[in-house]
Amino acid sequence: MSDLEKILALAPSTLDRFRLDGKVALVVGGTKGLGQAMALALAAAGADVCVASRGPAGLEETAKAIQSLGRRGAFFAADVTDEAQVEAMVHYMLDTFGRIDILVNSQGVVHLQPIEEFDTAAWERVMDVNVKSVFLCCKHVARVMLKQGKGKIINISSVRAFQGRLHDAAYAPSKGAVNQLTHSMAIEWGPRGINVNALAPVFTRTAMSAPVLDDPKTMDWVLSRIAMKRIGELDDLFGPIVFLASEASNFVNGHVLVVDGGWLAT
């Protein structure tokens, strides 16, 4: 069979590679904002999805929204900075679904304060939520995926992982750590069947970003930095998250996919 014949035989499967039918996804931080949007995108692409957060707000609501798309939807309340609760969450996933094919780490908090006055407890909280919890969730979910011989892990980073910021001693450094954690895991687990990648969005209107974006001067500055002259919308993440979770990205590993409208290019 010639190369052309091989490609021609495979080409009709192109769109099917983006389907997630039969897959099970765990979205941590999936009860609002970016995480909720990505959970629903995964469900719309065919995956059964469990969302997890400290709860209770948004948990049942998001699970019901997943079910409305014709998929199995579940939720689990956990503080994922606590290793015992992460282990309990993984056990719940196995008891409920029998497997975990996709892990999305979308949990995150931010604290801004002049660095010489930066509250140490706040710094520790940002690092715990944004870095420690990602490590713990990846560690315990990867054990399941390694036994399965396959899995997709997507960590949610930020354009701030590439840039410093005024009054930001914690969030930007924490997202930089997420990028490097993603790289290290990709190197270690890639040969064993797990793809580990990250998504790095720009300013997107969510409950966390609204107070900043509602300031006209700040919004003007943000738009001046984005080549497409608009902020991110939640549905801008639909395609990227499904791509990284699907068979379409089987040879993408250790990559940070920037979804920023040209922020870093400007």
The pLDDT, as a whole number, for residue 117 is 98
The pLDDT, as a whole number, for residue 209 is 82
The pLDDT, as a whole number, for residue 212 is 81
Which residues in the chain land under pLDDT 70?
A: none
The pLDDT, as a whole number, for residue 137 is 98
The pLDDT, as a whole number, for residue 207 is 78
Whether 171 is a known active-site residue: answer: yes
The pLDDT, as a whole number, for residue 10 is 97
- The domain spans of the chain are 14-259
Per residue in 38-82, pLDDT (tens digit) is 999 999 999 999 999 998 889 999 999 999 999 999 999 999 999
If one looks up domain 14-259 in CATH, what number appears?
3.40.50.720
The pLDDT, as a whole number, for residue 208 is 73
pTM over 0.95: yes
Q: Which of 75, 76, 123, 171 is catalytic?
A: 171
Residues 6+ apart with CB under 8 A from 179: 157, 161, 198, 200, 256
